[in-house]
Structure 1
Amino acid sequence: MVRTICVALAGLSFLAACATVPQDAEPPVSGEGPCDASAAQGLVGQRATQNLAAEAMELSGAREFRWIPPNSAVTMDYRSTRLNVEYDENTVVTAIRCG
């Protein structure tokens, strides 16, 4: 019984991998949604602080914020309302992008 269930689940996962994506579908690009990181690029190179986060949110128009520490794994889900700010071991901002 357990073997039958495992085989069925393996077959379903194989079929899911065969799903097609419409040819006209394009991945979202930063700045096309409610968040536009271009205005916040002047903050790159500054120390990562709560004040910087607030300023970056205001400049970008983002509704959500995410710090990305060095050597961190993050989810790959795209959110057009989220601002991502990466920083290095010295807490200096290295990148600002939407998504």
Structure 2
Amino acid sequence: MRQSPTFPLLCALVGLTVLAGCSSPRPHASPVWQPQGGTCSAGPAQSVVGQQATASVMEQARQRSGALMARILRPGQAVTKEFDAERLNLEVDAQGRIVAVRCG
């Protein structure tokens, strides 16, 4: 069986395409999508203490803190113990009022 003269060229092109997909981006390349928020700073979010823990209040606190994510911690709720510098924790009382704001 005789190969087409373009077959070796096609194989080389496929190989280069596969290798290009495995290469890491250049240092100056910027990602297409970046998450909103980052490292948490609880200080700017302290103004929500005493407020009812609604979705809008939680989002407002998350934005003020600069955190990537936020969660509400209820009394007696089991929580993970690992520290996450991008997470804001809103501790609430039995009535759902925010009693403490901290990062982690």
**TM-score between both structures, scaled by the size of structure 2:** 0.61
Q: What amino acid is the match of 2:96?
A: T
The equivalent of 1:16 in structure 2 is none
Unaligned runs of 5+ in 1: 1-32
Equivalence for 2:50: 45
Is 1:87 matched up with 2:92?
yes
1:66 partner SS: strand
Instruction: Answer whether contact 2:89 2:103 (CA < 8 A) is retained.
Output: yes
Distance 1:84 1:98 in 2: 6
Question: Deviations 1:26-72 (Å, cap 9, x if unpaired)?
Answer: xxxxxxx7110000111101111001011001100000111101111
Once the two structures are TM-superposed, the CA of residue 75 in structure 1 deviates from its matched residue by 1.0
The 8 Å contact of residues 59 and 70 in structure 2, kept in 1 or not, is answered as: no
Which SS does the other structure have where 2:61 is aligned?
helix
Bigger RCO of structures 1 and 2 (CA < 8 A, at least 6 apart): 1
Distance 2:57 2:40 in 1: 16
Q: Does 1:64 align with 2:69?
A: yes
User: 4+ residue runs of structure 1 moved beyond 3 angstroms?
Assistant: none
Q: TM-score, normalised by structure 1?
A: 0.64
| Residue of structure 1 in register with 2:82 after alignment | 77
How many residues align? The count is: 67
